[in-house]
Amino acid sequence: MGCVSHVDDAATPMTSASAGGSRAGARSTAVSRDAVPATLEARPLAGLGARLAATSTVPAPVLAVDLDAFDANASELLRRAAGRPLRLATKSVRVPFLIERGLAAGFTGLMTYHLAEALWWVERGVDDVLMGYPSVDRTALDALVRDDRARRAVTLMVDDLAHLELLVAALDRAPASEVPVRVCLDIDASLRLGPVHLGVRRSPVRNPEDAVALVRHADPRIEVRGVMFYEAQVAGLPDTSPAVRVVKKASLAELARRRGAVVAALEAELARPLELVNGGGTGSIAATGQDRVVTEITSGSGLLSPTLFDGYRLRPGEQRLLPAAFIGLDVVRRPAPGIVTAFSGGYIASGPVGPARAPRPFLPEGLRLLGTEGAGEVQTPLRGAAARGLRIGDRVWLRHAKAGEVMERFAEVALVSGPEGAVVVDRAPTYRGHSLTFG
């Protein structure tokens, strides 16, 4: 078993120790130390069974993060970016220690989802925080405009005159400052084919005229830093069919034309280059990076590689991202032959309701959810050939459909790393473990 320690602060280096043998009274995991589903590549997954087994003394439900896989994914994502800066999306991680580990690996700056979260990161010393979404939190806006360090570090996201008006009201309430508040325009990156809208419903700003009209309403105390185009229908959509691939190709071509036109119009209006043109996501790093107008790309989910990313096709030369986050549940019942019931497990992902949003059994291989019950609030029945060999007290492992979302259900994560016989187990608090709830 591994040595268990605790990372009290996300900025504290992870402690390490070697261990061998078993701890007295430890719970059985029923997972072979070298068990890895045959459908996954064996690169750093070798030894995954041993790393997960080392958490047997951590009470379940437990959320384990394999640091070996996390680090391999960070390297692969940065390699796909081919030198283009990668901004880390915090919503897809939500564990400060892991977010800081990503920054240390080479990610440049953060994309946060709540302004209070952005301000928290500024307090921790991060000096480049881009908001991924608009904020109408007047308390947080007041805090931002009253802090010159935060003004320099945080870039707000806007796509409506009302966002600018809220910001101006906050500026009017604050003491005067020579430091402008910086904003980024969120530009609709969806594909429209006649009446059909392919993509997410985000911004009403779509074309150069829309963008220029919004910029003309910016108060002199506001500086337009750049624009963001999030092509969700490319970056967040698995390659499930030829039709999806056609949509992605058409989206990239249309967006390359429109993105350049929007940027050119804004630069002409402002009489200066834009500092920031953000685009893409984990599923489109290389494709988005081919557009020379883009100055940076955002990624986050790929660090943990949840099940919704299993269906992406690899481009030539790319390595498959490795699952890095696992939910450990203990078997508490054997209600029938070939069926076991684990405690907890109902960690359903957001988005369109369906089987793809449920956690997926991972280890031991050969388990599946019951169609009549699925993953339950307090108990999760599992069936399959592997269930016959499971005993009460054994541990099973599932993968979540999304990346950071499941972190909201845990106060801390177990961090595992190292080879068999020298597995290290540390713990690090999530946002919740830091008593932070950003939504």
Q: For the chain, which domains are there?
A: 3-66+320-434 (2.40.37.20), 94-299 (3.20.20.10)
Please give the Cα distance from 298 to 212 (Å, whole number).
24
The answer to whether 177 and 209 are in contact (CB under 8 A) is no
Contacts of 355 (CB under 8 A, 6+ apart): none
What sign does the CA torsion over 112, 114, 119, 120 have? negative
Please give the Cα distance from 63 to 414 (Å, whole number).
6
- Using omega within 30 degrees of 0 as the cis cutoff, is the peptide bond preceding 364 cis? yes
Task: Report the pLDDT averaged over residues 245-250.
Answer: 76
Residue 30, Ramachandran bin (φ over 0: left; ψ between -120 and 50: alpha; else beta): left
Percent of the chain with pLDDT over 90: 70
What's 40's DSSP letter?
S
The pairing of strands 325-336 and 379-383 is unpaired
Helix axes 208-215, 242-270, angle to 10 degrees: 40
Residue 82 has pLDDT above 80, yes or no: yes
Tens of pLDDT, residue by residue over 90-115, are: 999 999 999 999 999 999 999 999 99
Tens of pLDDT, residue by residue over 131-173, are: 999 999 999 999 999 999 999 999 999 999 999 999 999 999 9
pTM, to two decimals: 0.88
SS3 278: strand
Smallest CA-to-CA distance from 281 within 135, 402, 104 is with 402
The answer to whether 391 and 408 are in contact (CB under 8 A) is no
Residue 254 has pLDDT above 90, yes or no: no
Smallest CA-to-CA distance from 321 within 302, 337, 336 is with 302
Residue 406 has pLDDT above 70, yes or no: yes
Tens of pLDDT, residue by residue over 299-352, are: 999 999 999 888 888 888 899 999 999 999 999 999 999 999 999 999 999 988
Identify the pLDDT of residue 222.
98
Q: For the chain, how far is it from start to end, CA to CA, in angstroms?
A: 36
Residue 183 has pLDDT above 60, yes or no: yes
Q: Say what the alpha-carbon torsion angle 408, 412, 418, 424 is, to the nearest 10 degrees.
A: -170
SS3 229: strand
